[in-house]
Amino acid sequence: MTTETTSTRRLRVHRFKRGDDAPHVEEFDVPMGEDATVLEALRWIQLHGDPSLGLRHSCFHASCGTCGVRVNGRERLACVTKLADFSGTITVDPIANLPVLLDVVVDMATFFAHYPDPHPIVRESGFLPEAAVADDLDGHERYEDCIECGLCLSACPVAATDDSYVGPAALAYAQRLLEEPRDGVDRNALLDWADQDAGAWRCHAAFECTEACPSDVRPAQRIMSLRKELRHRRSEQGRKVPEQAAGEEAT
Amino acid sequence: MSETRAPFDRERDAGVEEILRGRRQPAPVSRKLPGPIAWFDLRSRNTGHLAFSLNRVTGLGLVAYLYLHLAVLSQLLGGEDAWNDFLEVATTPLFLGLDVLLVFGLLAHGLNGTRVALVGSGFVPNRQKALFWSLMAFGAIVLVYSALHIFGGEA
Amino acid sequence: MVATAPERSTRSRSWRWTAFTGVSLLALVTIHMVAHHFVVEEIGGLRTYQHVLDYISTPIIFVIEGVFLVVVTVHAMLGLRSVLFDFGLSERWRRRLELGLVTLGIVTVVYGFILIGVLASRA
């Protein structure tokens, strides 16, 4: 039988309920084992401290993206962030740049509202004969790493002041759709969507989204790839115009 | 068989009514810091945010300098005496120090801008941190050389 | 939510011009700073009145400094536009801002050319 060392950690948690004049902070002393996570500490507070504490979580293993919070100012998934990684009092806030519904729970509908519309939410996924990895490849790259946790939008300095900016997740999603060789994607419509003032050109290359991403999506790099696509399209359109003119002359 | 719950009862369900009233309030957006202050908050941030903040500060500073510079150069319109009066002030250690600050701003903005242009065009996006620090190291060398020259009077 | 784009994308134009003027300024600023801080054997490399007149009246220098003035003003206005747009302005305010910055840029360039023109004529 193993005995886990227990220590008491102090958490400062953002508290807010709609109708409150302003948010406030509450401190809780939480007895936790050395491998305990921020989510476990928050759950302890719910069970033994204040049952009105609102938080969102699901899978407990960084797969669903629902437990995103800011821990000591940095975007993290609470379920895999260990208390032992921090010294002293640990501050837990909701992720930034999204409306706060309750305590550390934000309105993800706003996050998803930035996504290109219409976009294929559910797509037919067929078995491809090419699915077997060829000899000269290490493996296939997984495109659907994004767990839509919103940490990238929270970390983005542009989103801090401009709520109209579609954000790194939506742009990375658009780039993935362009990159995937599947049917049902209107490339021009998607590029039109990205090619707006609040789209791909709003990014200032801070790369905070890539740093915050817990799932190796690398949204900043995808935004730069999206810009490349937009430039290629522009140069293609530039070449098409004289050809169209020649076509008109011939008729 | 479970009992059917009675319809909403104002006295019994006062707490529920309060919650429902709260839900009709608009949800305030969570911000790290108000407005543009967040652009310059480097706590818990990484290299990219440092680069972004530096570019923004130096960019705004250089825009202000552009107009200050034009105003200063307008002294030349006043003739040789007016310009010499300015040179007396401009060659004091404080102003030479401001010149070094100008060089710092130009180097930081120009070199980081090079990174933004390269990365934003799709070149080496996975090396942007290394690119930033390499360029800043080069800039530091140039800055030191410039400062020695500006204060020393000759190369 | 899908934006309707013109046949040729104009939304990337400001980013491209910012990058282009920025790269151009790497050379132009270097020339300008070297000329005004590293050439003359005075304190800080600063030119005297006559040095300035002799410098600006040289035709090739006049052209280079004129190009520098235009490029730096364009870059500055585009940079200001980018920073101010980050405040999430409405479409109406964006148009007003762009008009204001174009006006400011034109005034800046015109004044700059008047300045160097007058100085060049005095040499």
- Per-residue pLDDT tens digits for C82-100: 999 999 888 899 999 999 9
- Using the 8-state DSSP alphabet, how is residue B121 labeled? T
**Across B78-87, B111-120, C79-88, least confident range:** B78-87
Chain B residues in contact with chain C using a Cβ-Cβ cutoff of 8 Å = 35-36, 39, 56, 59-60, 62-63, 66-67, 70, 73-74, 76-77, 79-80, 83-84, 87, 90-91, 95-96, 99, 103, 106, 110, 113-114, 116-117, 120-121, 146, 149-151, 153-155
In this complex, the residue of B39, B77, B106 whose CB is nearest that of residue C29 is B106
Polymer length in residues for chain B: 155
Which domains does chain A show, CATH number per domain? Answer: 6-106 (3.10.20.30), 110-250 (1.10.1060.10)
Per-residue H/E/C for A90-118: EEEEECCCCEEEECCEECHHHHHHCCCCC
Q: Helix, strand, or coil here: A32?
A: strand
pLDDT, position B1: 43
Residues of C in contact with A158 (CB under 8 A): 86
pLDDT tens digits, one per residue of C3-51: 444 434 456 788 989 999 999 999 999 999 888 888 777 766 678 888 8
Q: What subunits touch chain A, counting only 3 or more CB pairs under 8 A?
A: B, C
pLDDT, position A34: 87
Query: With contact defined as beta carbons under 8 Å apart, do B115 and B128 qualify?
Result: yes
Give the chain B residue nearest A226 (alpha carbons): B122
Task: Name the residue among A73, A68, A15 with its Cα closest to residue A46.
Answer: A15
CA distance C2 to chain B (A): 23
Inter-CA distances, A209 with A68, A213, A220, Å:
13, 6, 6
The tally of domains found in chain B comes to 1
Q: How far apart are CA A30 and CA A45, in angstroms?
A: 7
Chain C residues in contact with chain B using a Cβ-Cβ cutoff of 8 Å = 15, 19, 22-23, 25-26, 29, 33, 37-38, 41-46, 48-50, 52, 72-73, 76, 79-80, 83, 86-87, 108, 111-112, 115, 118-119
pLDDT, position B114: 95
In a domain? residue B8: no
Residues of C in contact with A164 (CB under 8 A): 88
Sign of CA dihedral A175, B32, A40, A19: negative
- Using the 8-state DSSP alphabet, how is residue C38 labeled? T
Q: Give the pLDDT mean for C99-119.
A: 96
Residues of C in contact with A192 (CB under 8 A): 2-5
Give the chain C residue nearest A114 (alpha carbons): C1
ipTM of this complex = 0.86
In a domain? residue B19: no
C48-55 CB contacts, 8 Å cutoff, 24+ apart: C48/B83, C48/B84, C48/B87, C49/B76, C49/B79, C49/B80, C49/B83, C49/B84, C50/B80, C52/B76, C52/B83, C52/C119, C53/C119, C53/C120, C53/C122, C53/C123, C54/C123
Greatest alpha-carbon pair distance for chain A in Å reads 88
Q: Give the pLDDT mean for B28-51.
A: 87
How many CB atoms lie under 10 A from the CB of residue A147? 20
pLDDT, position C37: 80
Q: Is A183 exposed, middle or buried (0-12, 13-18, 19+ CB in 10 A)?
A: exposed
Q: Could you tell me the pLDDT band of residue A209, with boundaries at 50, 70 and 90?
A: very high
pLDDT, position C9: 47
What is the extent of the structural domain holding B130?
39-152
Q: What is the pLDDT of chain C when averaged over all its residues? A: 87
Residue B96 confidence (pLDDT) above 60: yes
Which domains does chain C show, CATH number per domain? Answer: 15-122 (1.20.1300.10)
In this complex, the residue of A163, A208, A225 whose CB is nearest that of residue B122 is A225
pLDDT, position A240: 55
Look at C48 and B155 and tell me if their CB atoms are within 8 Å: no
Strand partners, A93: A70
In a domain? residue B16: no
Q: How far apart are CA A12 and CA A103, in angstroms?
A: 12
Q: Give the pLDDT mean for C95-123.
A: 94
Q: Could you tell me the pLDDT band of residue A142, with boundaries at 50, 70 and 90?
A: low
Q: Is A131 exposed, middle or buried (0-12, 13-18, 19+ CB in 10 A)?
A: exposed
pLDDT, position A141: 59
Residue B117 confidence (pLDDT) above 90: yes
Q: Could you tell me the pLDDT band of residue B20, with boundaries at 50, 70 and 90?
A: low
pLDDT tens digits, one per residue of A90-135: 999 999 999 999 999 999 988 988 888 755 555 555 446 566 777 7
In a domain? residue B22: no
Strand partners, A82: A37
Q: How far apart are CA A134 and CA A53, in angstroms?
A: 51
In a domain? residue B72: yes
Look at A99 and B18 and tell me if their CB atoms are within 8 Å: no
Q: Is B18 on the interface with A (CB under 8 A)?
A: yes
In a domain? residue B29: no
What values do phi and psi take at B67, rounded to 5?
Answer: -75, -35
Task: Name the residue among C79, C87, C123 with its Cα closest to residue C104.
Answer: C79
What values do phi and psi take at C24, rounded to 5?
Answer: -60, -35
What CATH number corresponds to the domain at position B144? 1.20.1300.10
What values do phi and psi take at A143, rounded to 5?
Answer: -90, -20
pLDDT, position C36: 84
What values do phi and psi take at C74, rounded to 5?
Answer: -60, -45
Q: Residue A241's Cα: distance from chain center in Å?
A: 39
Q: Mutating which of A13, A102, A152, A161 best tests the B interface, going by the most B Cβ atoms within 10 A?
A: A161
Look at C37 and B70 and tell me if their CB atoms are within 8 Å: no
Strand partners, A182: none
In a domain? residue B3: no
pLDDT, position B152: 78
| Cα angle A101-A102-A103, degrees, rounded to a multiple of 5 | 135
Q: Which range has highest mean pLDDT (B17-21, B150-154, C12-16)?
A: C12-16
In this complex, the residue of A16, A163, A221 whose CB is nearest that of residue B126 is A221
In a domain? residue B34: no
pTM recorded for the entire structure: 0.84
Give the chain C residue nearest B60 (alpha carbons): C80
Give the chain B residue nearest C50 (alpha carbons): B80
Query: Looking up tokens 């005095």, which residue turns up?
Result: C122
CA distance B97 to chain C (A): 10
Q: How far apart are CA B6 and CA A226, in angstroms?
A: 56
pLDDT, position B153: 57
Query: Looking up tokens 């034009």, which residue turns up?
Result: B70
Q: How far apart are CA A251 and CA A108, in angstroms?
A: 54
pLDDT, position C68: 96
